Structure 1
Amino acid sequence: MADVPIAVVILAAGQGSRMQSDLPKVLHRLGGVPLIGHALAGARSLDPEQVIVVAGHGADLVQGAVARLDPDARIVLQREQLGTGHAVRQSLPEMEGFEGKVVVLYGDTPFIGADTLAALASHPADLVVLGFEAEDPGRYGRLVVGARGLERIVEYKDADAATRQIALCNSGVMALDAARLRQLIGRLGNDNAAGEYYLTDLVALARAEGLRADVVTCDEEETLGINTRAELAAAEAAFQARARAEALENGVTLSDPGTVWFALDTCIGRDAIIGQNVVFGPGVTIESGAEILPFCHLEGCHVSAGATVGPFARLRPGAELGGDAHVGNFVEIKNAVLEEGVKVGHLTYLGDAHVGEHSNIGAGTITCNYDGVGKHRTEIGPRAFIGSDTMLVAPVRVGAEALTGSGSVITQDVPDGALAVARARQANKPGLAVRLMASLRAAKEKR
């Protein structure tokens, strides 16, 4: 990144009334994470010294989400929504003593790329605005550029016919020197119909001081802001299309690309194979050569090279699959480590468990990990064989090369190499089935 220190301010105080939601706009999900997560990821691409999020509507919810997504980011409150200039002013106490470049982003603008942000942050002008050539400029503010850079920003309603012909539009994103920001922002006025303090007015103030203002441009798609549910849906479609294209370009096989759904941080190695109708939630890493068969849902998990998952499997947070492990149909794994070569073919739940290498888990096995109050762990040693329909009542350990009989309820540790059978002895009653069914039918006929 540039030699100049960077601080990023993300504006996330708005209610987003057009979303028709009780949830703050920046917490609506895109690519599996809240919109604010995309802005935070963009901010971190600049390797900043500080990231400050300005919250307002639903501040407690926004603060909780930011704490999960980026614990080092700081939250400040804009108690009254008095405009973008007023919002940035709330961040100044957090930047006391900071000397460098301040980049102002928006929590509802998820697609600005790392290269664009780097160009913005490293530009030598005193104030830099991010602009874009709009296919349909519509009611965007126009950027008027002359021989000495950016001359002014003109809102559509204030523009004459000639200015409205300008296709270079304002995204609202800008960068400026921290000292200049402190110098100018206190001079913003609110003499406008909304009675708000607009950040865009800094351009005129800077030019009046003889400072240089300029423009960095990007593709229009990068500046897409989310204001309605329809725009959120369109953004999701754009995000998924981009993620699929990047995966294919990076050597991942997608059997039916249009049915695979990615999260913001999905990481898949080359030569991995992803079947149709696979959904990746946040926090998934798939190593090279692994295969995810159709109709699987993965979140917060790691799949090593050579492993196969599915079809119809679910990997939940904390699932770790070693090399050449196999998780089959209708298997759910949560907070469990499966070492190399483990086979879990079908109809099984493994939670809060560790399974040693080359163990085999029979169909219908369940780790009974929750007692209604706390979670408990199950340990299965290497090369163990767990018979079908085994209930492992945690905390419990099954030793290396041990075996459990089908239908067993294991409540005590099983030593290495031992066979554990925990079920009632079978008793056969000759002829009783026929007599019992005849009695039941007779009783039914009398009713």
Structure 2
Amino acid sequence: MSELLLIEDDPIMGESLVQRFEIEGYTPHWCRRLGEAATLLDVPQRWAAVVSDVRLPDGLASTWFAARPAAVRRRPWFFLTGYGSVDDAVAAMRAGAREYLTKPFDIERLVALVRDATSRGDAVDDAVLGVSPAMRRIEALLRKVALQRAAVLLTGESGVGKEVAAQLVHEVAGRGEFVAVNCAAIPETMLEAEFFGYEKGAFTGATRVHRGYLERASGGTLFLDEVGELPLSMQAKLLRALQERSFFRLGAERPTSSDFRLVSATNQDLLVAMADGRFREDLFYRIAVIRVDLPPLRERPEDVRWLAERMLAQMAIEHHRTLAMSDDFVRMLVARTWRGNARELRAVLEQAVILSETGWLDAPPPDLPAEAGAAADATPLLPLQRMVEDAERQHIRRALQVTQGSVGRTAELLGISRKTLWEKMRRLGLNA
């Protein structure tokens, strides 16, 4: 059985929640004070989820939660709050809480949220790049590579998350500073000065010593985004610096040493660039000891909802609003081809949030950006599996309405087990 930590000082509410979660197959441990819970959280992996009131006799759970170690905050936390403590719950969301519900709340919705979070497991809770099988494999590889010093080349379309992957490598390695450089944004005449730095008086206007990117990254990670945009002259200088782990600042007489982990990224095909003479072959093999290709979002639809939920949680903090998506809205997101990948997804969500008066994202507003090149009156032909899922989703939704949201009675009505119904509801994005 999954163990669940409940922190609630109201005896009636606490007893009701204990009984309800026991019916769902959890083993609830009920604490009435933060002090009681502190000892139990010494082993955070023990708990499938934590449900807590915000205002407790010995302090604010939201403030207390924000001060917990990262391993504790990574567990799915759900806060229950009165109207007057919504700001406290928002603060907890900023620190990583999964959700907060205002009292009086629908206990069935809380149970469904907890069930969804715990059934997906730690692999989803701790995922950084995505929950699709492809991104899970990539994340596992990058975590393994991060413990070595090999140079990594990340490839993929624009907006696919290459910098997030580079930051993951850096954070797992746990050393030094993360220095990100957009190679396409630096004027060619300034490349050498920005990469290697310069001495005071090296040229007109050099009034002080300037530490370049390679020097600032020493002991940490140097991330070269759009590395394929570097001109050949700069590629040769960079290659020499990588080989010797030292370089000369402009105007310097002695070399400067720098020890850093190199992660590069590009949306170009560098093999084609090499064949065309636009990229040095020797530099390619220096920066691409480990090559990782991040697939576009359209090839991993499982990540669309996961990314959208994370982005929406962040927007809720930024806009100081409660935000949520309907099943229809999520289906609209999954149906898009996302030529701009995660960057386009965020833009679509931003517009929908701004145009929504209630914070409930139900259907795309009239001026939500349409797919490039798509006919305005074209009706997409959905895959058969999608049509089956839509029909199943509507049928289960009708049954839930008939039983007024009772999962047990709905399962009996549909002639399936309670566990099967929960699994279908989770897969289809339905809440009781």
Fold shared by both chains (TM-score > 0.5): no
Q: Which structure is larger by alpha-carbon Rg, 1 or 2?
A: 1
The higher-RCO structure (CA 8 Å, 6+ apart) is 2
Normalized per residue, which structure has more strand? 1
- Shorter-chain TM band: under 0.3
More helix by share: 2
Q: TM-score, normalised by structure 2?
A: 0.25
